[in-house]
Structure 1
Amino acid sequence: MDLREVPDPEVGPGQVLVGVRASTICGSDLRAIYREHLGEGPEAYQGVVGGHEPAGRVLAVGAGVDRIRVGHRVVVYHISGCGQCDECRHGYQISCTGAGRAAYGWQRDGGHADLLLAEERDLLVLPDELTFLDGAVVACGFGTAYEALCRTGVSGRDRVLVTGLGPVGCAVGLLAKALGSPRVIGTDPSPERRALALELGAVDDAVAGTDSELDALLDGPGGGAEVAVDCSGNGRGQLTALRHTRRWGRAALVGEGGQLSVDVSEVLIHRQLTVHGSWVTSTGRMSELLVNLARWDLHPEELVSNTFTLADAEQAYRTADAAQGGKVGITFTDD
């Protein structure tokens, strides 16, 4: 990465200038921008200011902006869609099929700068009870976790298995408990991440993920969790999640990447599983999540283990890439 001066953005019709106050680093950035360097499709990094998980304060608004006001504290939904396709009309700009789809930090300037130009429709007001860092963590990771749990309908009836205990996996655990799950079990090959998930209270048990370990926690062979969520993006983790979902249970796959080979009859059909592919969330559901977090007094910033100033952004990325702790954030002074 490099740090450079860029011109201050100017607001146009329907646009908002945000003074960024917190912007966290996502595993998708590390994978797709800094390793794969894709030039086309939804992960087509176009040499813009990085960072797709920003929150900040509104400094100026353009003509036609009436919902968002100067001074509002906001979270930026990280995909700006065309606004006209069926996906956008349902609030799922992440799945926008229009030619104008552009992700902050990927195809248009993102949150790793002190100023960010955003479309009004992409902004959600941050409740007073939540911090800017809370909002940044919601912008992608917590929103993704909440969507998966809503898709699977988690309630007090359900034990939850989480495969992959990075920031999104820990978010799944914390939110599952807030939704009433009596027990959350997590798997990860990293002892550091297992320890952190236990320390945060995101899981009740954390194991490496062998069949014998999970059988001992989930009613023996043939048992399983009522709900499983894979956050590993790894074929082995994905298969672990499916194989240890209880008969008639529900599973969600949210971890990007991985190649999955599965005996469809044995694992899915004969065990009557419902499997969701769940990609981020909608603006409506993210707004609902922000209200619920304030109500539950649950602060996503608990997942942040390291914060850096913009001047130390290179070290921030190195720390995130080491994958030994929780979420990594870049923070700015709130003038």
Structure 2
Amino acid sequence: MNQERTMSGVYLPGDSTAVLRDLPVPEPGPGQVLVEVGASGICGSDIGYIYHGHKGHRGVDGPAYRGVVAGHEPSGRIVAAGPGVRRFGVDDRVIVYHIAGCGLCDNCRRGYFISCTAPERKAYGWQRDGGHAHYVLAEESTCVPLPDELSYVDGALIACGFGTAYEGLRRIGVNGDGDLLVVGLGPVGLAAGMIGRGMGARRVVGVEPSERRREWASGLGVFDEVLTPDDEIAPVSATTIDCSGSRAGRATAIAGAAEWGRVSLVGEGGTLETEVSDALLHKQLTLYASWVTSLTAMTELAVNLARWGLRPERVVSDRFPLEDAAKAYELAAGASQGKVVLLPSPELA
């Protein structure tokens, strides 16, 4: 029956446009579920690597995008389950972890599907149809329970940006013993500030060159202080995280770390350039780098956010129906203050 139905999905030709097309509603096979998408976020990697058609994550000429329905940040409600589905069922609310790995390699068995290198590894919105559609066909193994206290928009943000920030903060052990410095206040930086608050950081300080984004971040009630890169930033933070992906931002994160501090790098792209002796050795710094997060940590994060009473959707500045995907991507690639989200099924969001 599902094969006779159609839905709309967003495709990214790579020329800075977003195109809406009709396609069949898929039917779940063994171990799969059909998710009605309540919200689907637009990620910075979608913009750079797919929307604008730049190089892929691993430096391969041409993006890794394979002409599928875009969007790797979906959250929604299961409406059908295929044979062999055991953990989830119809009407369950879920976040879709955005990589379907082989399930057998060491990385997959640790929950880090993101680092699977098997030929069958496929990312939603990159090599298999993603969340910018009314429905997404998902592997049950990639589904994360969405707590009742959180919305589908919350879930979409956890699916990538908040998960990425959480992993970076876990690596550096953010807690109430010290401050947290967040460099780069795009969606991931805003997530880092909010999660750092939940993890108990004494003070959360943000650094952002864009006045527009500084104003937005200042109004969220997350940061104790929001600075420009030109402001004097005393190295008093036990933990710092760079979410900018820029050489200058990474240098600021290193300079802002106090002795015996821990620095987390989560921003994609760019280079790292630093003086070694005074900046690193003499301060006894430890640098960590992480790529997204694990399935288990994403599950933990969703539970923690509900427990902390924190709502990721606070960092969303703009919401669009699926039909306005072109406007949404144009804004996300340009003048957006915070996160931009598509609502394929507004009645669920």
State if a TM-score over 0.5 links the two structures: yes
Q: Could you tell me which residue of structure 1 aligns to residue 25 of structure 2?
A: 8
Instruction: After TM superposition, give the deviation of residue 323 of structure 1 in Å.
Output: 4.1
After TM superposition, where is structure 1 displaced by more than 2 Å over at least 4 residues in a row?
Answer: 35-43
**From 143, 163, 171, the counterpart of 1:143:** 163
Instruction: After TM superposition, give the deviation of residue 40 of structure 1 in Å.
Output: 8.4
Task: Establish whether residue 238 from structure 1 lines up as the match of residue 250 from structure 2.
Answer: yes
Judge which range, 321-330 or 45-54, deviates more. 321-330
**From 279, 283, 289, the counterpart of 2:301:** 289
Q: Could you tell me which residue of structure 2 aligns to residue 51 of structure 1?
A: 71
Could you tell me whether the CA contact under 8 Å between 1:171 and 1:202 is conserved in 2? no
**From 271, 276, 279, the counterpart of 1:259:** 271
Q: Could you tell me which residue of structure 1 aligns to residue 219 of structure 2?
A: 199
Q: Could you tell me which residue of structure 1 aligns to residue 118 of structure 2?
A: 98
Q: Could you tell me which residue of structure 2 aligns to residue 333 of structure 1?
A: 346
> How far apart are the structure 2 equivalents of 1:35 and 1:59?
34
2:19 partner SS: coil
Q: Trace 1:1-335 onto structure 2 (pairs within 5 A).
A: 1-38=18-55, 41=58, 44-210=64-230, 212-214=231-233, 218=234, 223-331=235-343, 332-334=345-347
Could you tell me whether the CA contact under 8 Å between 2:49 and 2:56 is conserved in 1? no
After TM superposition, the score normalised by the length of structure 1 is: 0.94
Structure 2: tracts of 5 or more residues without a match: 1-17
Instruction: After TM superposition, give the deviation of residue 20 of structure 1 in Å.
Output: 0.6
After TM superposition, the score normalised by the length of structure 2 is: 0.91
> CA deviation digits over 1:307-333, x for unaligned, max 9?
010110100111111143111111123
> How far apart are the structure 1 equivalents of 2:204 and 2:43?
23
Instruction: After TM superposition, give the deviation of residue 39 of structure 1 in Å.
Output: 6.7
> CA deviation digits over 1:68-105, x for unaligned, max 9?
10110100001111111111000011111211111100
Distance 1:39 1:168, change over 3 A: closer
Structure 1: tracts of 5 or more residues without a match: none
1:3 partner SS: strand
Q: What code does the residue aligned with 2:346 have? A: T
1:57 partner SS: strand
Q: What code does the residue aligned with 2:190 have? A: C
CA RMSD of aligned residues (A): 1.4
Q: What code does the residue aligned with 1:232 have? A: S
Could you tell me whether the CA contact under 8 Å between 2:78 and 2:90 is conserved in 1? yes
Instruction: After TM superposition, give the deviation of residue 246 of structure 1 in Å.
Output: 0.6
Which structure is higher in helix share? 1
> How far apart are the structure 2 equivalents of 1:192 and 1:130?
28
Distance 1:40 1:146, change over 3 A: closer
Q: What code does the residue aligned with 1:136 have? A: A
Could you tell me whether the CA contact under 8 Å between 1:39 and 1:46 is conserved in 2? no
Could you tell me whether the CA contact under 8 Å between 1:110 and 1:116 is conserved in 2? yes
> How far apart are the structure 1 equivalents of 2:259 and 2:162?
28
Instruction: After TM superposition, give the deviation of residue 266 of structure 1 in Å.
Output: 2.7
Instruction: After TM superposition, give the deviation of residue 264 of structure 1 in Å.
Output: 2.4
> CA deviation digits over 1:283-312, x for unaligned, max 9?
101101111111111110111111010110
Judge which range, 259-268 or 121-130, deviates more. 259-268
Could you tell me whether the CA contact under 8 Å between 2:198 and 2:305 is conserved in 1? no
1:301 partner SS: helix
1:213 partner SS: coil
> How far apart are the structure 1 equivalents of 2:57 and 2:193?
34
> How far apart are the structure 1 equivalents of 2:252 and 2:53?
26
Could you tell me whether the CA contact under 8 Å between 1:37 and 1:44 is conserved in 2? no
